[in-house]
Amino acid sequence: MEIGIVGLPNVGKSTIFNALTSGNAAASNYPFTTIEPNVGVVAVPDARLGRLTELCKPHKTVPTSCRFVDIAGLVKGASQGEGLGNKFLANIREVDAVLHMVRLFKDPDVVHTMGSVDYRRDIEVIETELMLADLASLEKQFEKVSGKAKSGDKAAREVLGVLEALKAGLSAGKPARALGLDPKAITEFALLTAKPVLFVGNTDEAPEPGVIAGFQDYVRTLGSGSVVLCGKLESEIAELAGEDRALFMKDLGMERSGLETVIVGAYRTLGLCSYFTCGETEVRAWTIPIGCKAPQAAGVIHSDFEKGFIRADVYAYADIDRLGSEAALREKGLLRSEGKEYTVKDGDVCHFKFSS
């Protein structure tokens, strides 16, 4: 999973990137601190993996990973070259989801490039710049196919139709994801506004009443999901190790780290869940789309598993957590054999049988 972080300058993108990735990207009270993109890969935290490791005692445990890309801040007019321009957006053309960081914290000591804290305006500015960047990249696609379409190439004519629908929608101020077009028909254009977005509100330690709810409600009207973090606290937490960190979080009444909050939000936004494989060699988490059938889930491990899929031995994480061993599961009839129509559930532990 790859996530690209966008937002205005000085909203805390690099601060939160550092907290999420235990990284040390430059973060400062100076708009346009980030020029070159920062990239960090982190293990996706999942407490169930720890418990499975305890029960199966494998040689190794492998979590799934997530790659974050922190880029420069966008400003109004970036498509016309304002600020650092918008060329750096190319660094997030290939990500699976966009994390749109929005400033909710007031702190008068931290410069706001638009002069005041106003999440609606800020979100609109960024969305508009992303749409303008998409319109510019559509122009290049038009150039590629219009000649072919004119000479009667049927496939090219169809592509041209999709491009025209995208251009009309984006020009009317609608992001590509909101145009009701077939996602398969538009993925090849790698449009930024076709990607699912998770809005992340960066709040004060003690936010004013109503700010968070207002932000969440507004994001809901955009058809997207949101999570809220406090960048300042997250960066303090990230500096603590082990027990100190747990204690500090407990004192603050925080159940989840920023990384967990973002990952949970990203999984929800992308419609993802995890299943596990559990053996002597390794215990491992795998990410699949919700609703994925057993052969496709097996295909995430290796395409041969999907092609030669015979069946899957499956049990639920909750059952092994409760009963403590596969033997106990077998005794209770909780170890099932499932065929190719089975929909793999979040937390399933699967063992695939396949012919090679």
Ligand X SMILES: Nc1nc2c(ncn2[C@@H]2O[C@H](COP(=O)(O)OP(=O)(O)OP(=O)(O)O)[C@@H](O)[C@H]2O)c(=O)[nH]1
In the complex, the residues that contact Mg ion under the rule CB under 5 A are 13-14, 33-34
User: At 349, which amino acid appears?
Assistant: V
CA distances (Å), origin 235, targets 12, 77, 238, 323:
10, 31, 5, 39
CA–CA separation, 19 vs 202, rounded Å? 13
Using DSSP bridges, classify how beta strands 309-316 and 336-338 pair: parallel, antiparallel or unpaired: antiparallel
Q: Which is nearer to Mg ion, 34 or 86 (CB)?
A: 34
Decide: 127 and 234 in contact? Cβ < 8 Å: no
C-beta of residue 300 within 8 angstroms of C-beta of residue 332:
no
Report the residue number, 18 or 224, with the smaller CB distance to ligand X.
Answer: 18
Closest distance to Mg ion from the beta carbon of 23 (Å): 11
Give CA separation, 111 vs 8, 23, 24, 235, 318, in Å: 11, 23, 21, 19, 48
The CB-of-75 to ligand X minimum distance in angstroms stands at: 9
User: 73, 201, 265, 347: which one contacts ligand X (CB under 6 A)?
Assistant: 73
Nearer to ligand X, 232 or 284 (CB): 232
Exposed/middle/buried for residue 236 (C-beta within 10 Å: 0-12, 13-18, 19+): middle
Residue nearer to ligand X on the CB measure, 29 or 303 = 29
Task: Find the binding residues for ligand X in span 227-256 (CB under 6 A).
Answer: 230-232
Tell me whether residue 152 or residue 253 sits nearer to ligand X (CB atom): 253
Give the binding-site size for ligand X (rule: CB under 6 A): 24
User: Is residue 31 involved in binding ligand X (CB under 6 A)?
Assistant: yes
Q: Does 261 bind ligand X (CB under 6 A)?
A: no
38 is an interface residue for ligand X by CB under 6 A: no
Residues of this chain that interact with ligand X (CB under 6 A) are 7, 9-15, 27-29, 31-34, 72-73, 105, 107, 110, 202, 230-232
